[in-house]
């Protein structure tokens, strides 16, 4: 994929302002898109949109196909007559942080009220019936899975969370015996329909938002995690596609060895793929997964691209990611199968960390742009590959930082004296306005795309970072308030976009 020179903002929808404790797909989302237009931005990059599981990470989802229903906007439901204004209870949510423990039960209660009005209609909406039919390949399994999860969480609420996961369900259900599935589909019919309703509303709101973005000339960059969560409808519905033992648990799990972010590596815990089985099916599940995600976005970042060439396999039960080993992935075989079915690949390869020549060759053969992160540029002197004067091709995406990095202000003020000195000398600056110095450096580079986390455009410090890899708490909470999205920020981005030829054509 070849890129046109342009600029954009990295921001997940959970970060939008509003009164409901978490960002949503209502007015604040449209205001943000108007801000992007005013700022001369053509790109909006988001994190995975799936419903989050334990830890609230968008990279650990109950489904690779479903949408996060917590993003549904209640005000839109009021406009549709599915909620009344008196249904909205007064809240005291932190405007700068998402508290999932508060938000989840609050919004679920609202959605159940909306669902009650929805099913009280004399007949189902034709659009709802059509949505269920068109998405049944994943929706039926997902809705049943979520209904079962809710049932067993309530039944086993005093037990360890591991006993609430699907491998600990009754054996015939965990193994998806037909008679058992039929029984539970009948037993949990209303709960199943509720889950389908949530997905219908989510996609209705998301598709309208995406359409608005595209009309403004803004493309959405989505994010595809290479692995899926163990506690997901994907693994439960397709256990043969994953490296599981006879009881349904992974014998080895995913992660990465010690790296920039952690001395003990990152132990993600996701099940690994049975790549042999995927190849036998012509990678059908992967193709449908990518096809579905590209309906929701315009461009797709492939997270942990290296894992397609080789992946770090860690024995189940390990406490860190140190004792793993590299195993061969599908490589070109998968990507060729996807391209044969879907055409050109509008992908960005997340190629950070320790990257081998084979991974670079795979990326280059497919002409996929890689990533350059400026916060990594000042660690190794003038020959560092992340320094803009060493970029060898414009077919790249440059970031001041990603969702896994500190904010640029926070990075600079926690960097070593040597790195700070190198930064100041390289940019010929005082270090007083680090965030905008980094933005200017990104925009001035030859990289076709320049992406900036909104926190950097706002000049925010470490307290506003999105994620700290290796830390299990305090992540995925960032929000901003409406007042923080100022015309001054928009003018600054617009000015630099014009100056460095990144304005829309």
- Strands 325-328 and 347-349, how do they pair? unpaired
| Candidate list 73, 223, 350, 456, residue with the active-site label | 350
- Cα(316)–Cα(272) distance, rounded to whole angstroms? 11
Nearest Cα neighbor of 308 from 360, 259, 261 is: 360
Using DSSP's 3-state secondary structure scheme, residue 347 falls into: strand
Nearest Cα neighbor of 309 from 258, 354, 242 is: 354
Nearest Cα neighbor of 5 from 445, 347, 360, 351 is: 445
245 given a catalytic annotation: no
160 given a catalytic annotation: no
73 given a catalytic annotation: no
- Strands 219-224 and 43-45, how do they pair? parallel
Helix axes 189-215, 100-119, angle to 10 degrees: 100
If one counts every other C-beta atom within 10 angstroms of the C-beta of residue 491, the result is 13
| Candidate list 75, 99, 404, 482, residue with the active-site label | 404
| Candidate list 243, 303, 309, 437, residue with the active-site label | 303
- Strands 299-302 and 347-349, how do they pair? parallel
Q: Which residues pair with 370 in a beta bridge?
A: 396
Token representation of residue 203: 């996609």
Q: Hey, which bits of 272-369 come out as E strands?
A: 299-302, 310-315, 325-328, 347-349
Residue whose entry in the numeric block shows the structure tokens 């896994």: 404
Give the end-to-end CA distance of the chain in Å, rounded to a whole number.
Answer: 18
Our CA angle for 496, 386, 489, nearest 5°, is 25
Residue 491: partners with Cβ closer than 8 Å, 6 or more residues away: none
Active site residues: 303, 350, 404
């Amino acid at each position: 994929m070849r890129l046109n020179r342009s600029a954009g903002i990295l921001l997940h929808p959970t970060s939008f302002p509003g009164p409901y404790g978490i960002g949503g797909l209502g007015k604040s989302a449209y205001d943000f898109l108007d801000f992007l237009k005013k700022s001369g931005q053509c790109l909006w990059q988001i994190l995975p949109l799936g419903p989050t599981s334990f830890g609230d990470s968008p990279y650990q989802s109950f489904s690779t196909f479903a949408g996060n229903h917590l993003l549904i906007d209640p005000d839109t439901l009021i406009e549709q007559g599915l909620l009344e204004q008196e249904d909205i209870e007064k809240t005291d949510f932190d405007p700068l942080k998402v508290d999932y423990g508060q938000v989840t039960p609050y919004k679920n209660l609202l959605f159940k009220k909306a669902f009650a009005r929805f099913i009280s209609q004399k007949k189902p909406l034709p659009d709802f019936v059509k949505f269920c039919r068109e998405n049944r390949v994943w929706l039926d399994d997902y809705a049943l899975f979520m209904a079962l999860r809710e049932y067993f969480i309530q039944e086993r609420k005093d037990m360890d969370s591991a006993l609430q996961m699907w491998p600990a369900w009754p054996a015939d259900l965990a193994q998806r015996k037909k008679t058992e599935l039929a029984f539970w589909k009948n037993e949990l019919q209303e709960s199943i329909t509720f889950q389908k309703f949530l997905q219908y509303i989510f996609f209705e709101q998301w598709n309208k938002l995406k359409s608005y973005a595209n009309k403004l000339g803004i493309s959405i960059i989505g994010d595809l995690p290479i692995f899926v969560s163990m506690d997901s409808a994907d693994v439960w519905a397709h256990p043969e596609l994953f490296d599981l033992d006879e009881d349904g648990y992974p014998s080895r799990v995913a992660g990465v060895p010690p790296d920039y972010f952690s001395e003990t590596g990152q132990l993600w815990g996701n099940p690994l793929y049975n790549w042999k089985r995927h190849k036998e099916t012509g990678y059908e599940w992967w193709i449908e997964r990518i096809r579905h995600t590209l309906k929701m976005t315009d461009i797709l970042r492939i997270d942990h691209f290296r894992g397609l060439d080789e992946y770090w396999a860690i024995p189940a039960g390990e406490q860190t990611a140190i004792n793993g080993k590299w195993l061969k992935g599908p490589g070109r075989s998968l990507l060729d199968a996807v391209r044969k079915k879907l055409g050109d690949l509008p992908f960005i390869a997340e190629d950070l960390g320790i990257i081998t020549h084979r991974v670079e060759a795979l990326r280059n053969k497919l002409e996929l742009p890689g990533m350059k992160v400026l916060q990594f540029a000042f660690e190794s002197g003038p020959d560092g590959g992340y320094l803009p004067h060493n970029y060898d091709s414009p077919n790249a995406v440059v970031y001041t930082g990603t969702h896994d990095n500190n904010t640029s202000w926070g990075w600079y003020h926690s960097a070593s004296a040597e790195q700070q000195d190198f930064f100041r000398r390289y940019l010929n600056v005082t270090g007083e306005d680090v965030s905008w110095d980094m933005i200017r450096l990104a925009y001035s580079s030859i990289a076709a795309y320049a992406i900036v986390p909104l926190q950097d455009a706002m000049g925010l410090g470490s307290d506003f970072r999105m994620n700290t890899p290796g830390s299990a708490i305090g992540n995925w909470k960032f929000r901003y308030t409406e007042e923080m999205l100022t015309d001054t920020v928009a003018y600054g981005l617009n000015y630099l976009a014009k100056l460095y030829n990144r304005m829309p054509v």
